[in-house]
């Protein structure tokens, strides 16, 4: 279970606990296509984390099935299953008494990889997640910042090149600036690696930013809607989804498009002192920038070359 991304299917997956009238997860059915990020989001107690832990059998199914590339998780040895799934949690869960190198190499070591291969893979992954191998391989978790520990946790989850990754509120305990940077870096990594990722969050803005598809769960573990972010914002399935997404869903929709998606006006239509933004800027950020700058027009520029202009009205349209 290593290498290419895997398709993940929840097929009427249900989890009940004795003594509780409502199921934790109720008949959950959805398909996560290989290489996509599916975000599970919803109010507290809706079964997001339970659904995630059903996948690697940290919690056992009551009924229904979950399949990875057509194979039922019930047919797989739990140890084999978990070694083939990357798992990243909010608390990171690094082993405190061993080095970063030993933490990242945990699963490859269990799989019997030779030491040289583990060292090469660990070095490669630290560079990939924005750490410095020369500085960080021999450090201990207590010597790292929260953001650095989260990067090590991500590297550890990627170590054996799993086809599937589970991420349970991985950035929730990190300050907003570092959190946004880690979100951006994970999306960049995903463009390169194309893993299948199930990502749990309580934050609808994070869900919209991170997800190729979003599953909104309601209390009792019911699936309220499963759709790409743009569809979710434009056509909420019911009042619950509309309220959860928020009254500002039109503004949230601006976060899904970038300046590069729009037809630009001529550069000379903007005043000489107009603010300049790169084409990768989201429409939401561009609008916020214009409001803060008290400007009506911005220039879109890349590598010092002005590509064109955009007005505030054009952004809103």
Averaging pLDDT over each range in 3-7, 119-123, 159-163, 260-264, which range is the top one? 119-123
pLDDT one-digit tens code per residue, 229-245: 989 988 999 999 999 98
pLDDT of residue 39: 97
Residue 10 predicted with pLDDT over 90: yes
> Looking at residues 198-222, what average pLDDT do you find?
93
Q: Higher pLDDT residue, 88 or 201?
A: 201
Q: Strand ranges (DSSP E) for the chain?
A: 8-15, 25-32, 37-41, 63-68, 71-72, 85-89, 164-168, 196-200, 213-218, 222-227, 276-277, 297-302, 305-311
Does this model's pTM top 0.85? My answer is no
Q: Which residues pair with 168 in a beta bridge?
A: 89, 200
Q: If you average pLDDT over residues 165-190, what whole number do you get?
A: 85
User: What does the pLDDT average to over 264-291?
Assistant: 84
Tokens 């560079």 label which residue?
127
pLDDT above 50 (res 22): yes
**For the segment 39-72, what is each residue's pLDDT rounded down to a tens digit?**
999 998 899 999 999 999 999 999 999 999 999 9
The per-residue pLDDT of the chain, averaged, comes to: 88
Q: What is the pLDDT of residue 116?
A: 92
Rounded Cα distance, 123 and 119, in Å: 6
pLDDT of 1 reads 47
């Amino acid at each position: 279970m290593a290498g290419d991304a895997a398709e993940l299917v929840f097929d009427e997956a249900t989890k009940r606990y004795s003594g509780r009238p409502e199921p934790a997860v109720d008949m959950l059915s959805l398909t996560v296509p290989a290489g996509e990020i599916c975000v599970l989001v919803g109010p507290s107690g809706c079964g997001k984390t339970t659904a995630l832990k059903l996948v690697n059998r940290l919690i056992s199914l009551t009924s229904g099935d979950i399949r990875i590339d057509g194979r039922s998780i019930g047919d797989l040895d739990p140890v084999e299953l978990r070694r083939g799934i990357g798992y990243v949690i909010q608390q990171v869960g690094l082993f405190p008494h061993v080095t970063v190198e030993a933490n990242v190499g945990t699963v490859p070591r269990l799989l019997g990889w030779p030491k040289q291969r583990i060292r090469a893979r660990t070095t490669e992954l630290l560079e990939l997640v924005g750490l410095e191998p020369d500085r960080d391989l021999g450090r201990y978790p207590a010597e790292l910042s929260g953001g650095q520990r989260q990067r090590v946790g991500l590297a550890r989850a990627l170590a054996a090149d799993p086809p599937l990754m589970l991420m349970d509120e991985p950035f929730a305990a990190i300050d907003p600036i570092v959190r946004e940077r880690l979100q951006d870096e994970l999306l960049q990594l995903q463009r390169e690696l194309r893993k299948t990722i199930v990502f749990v969050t309580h934050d609808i803005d994070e869900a919209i930013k991170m997800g190729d598809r979003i599953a909104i769960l309601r209390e009792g573990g019911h699936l309220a809607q499963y759709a790409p972010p743009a569809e979710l914002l434009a056509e909420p399935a019911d009042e619950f989804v509309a309220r959860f997404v928020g009254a500002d869903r039109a503004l949230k929709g601006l976060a899904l498009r970038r300046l590069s998606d729009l037809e630009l006006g001529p550069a000379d239509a903007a005043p000489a002192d107009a603010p300049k933004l790169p084409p990768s800027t989201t429409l939401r950020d561009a609008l916020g920038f214009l409001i803060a700058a008290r400007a009506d027009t911005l220039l879109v520029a890349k590598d010092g070359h002005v590509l064109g202009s955009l007005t505030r009205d054009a952004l809103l349209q």
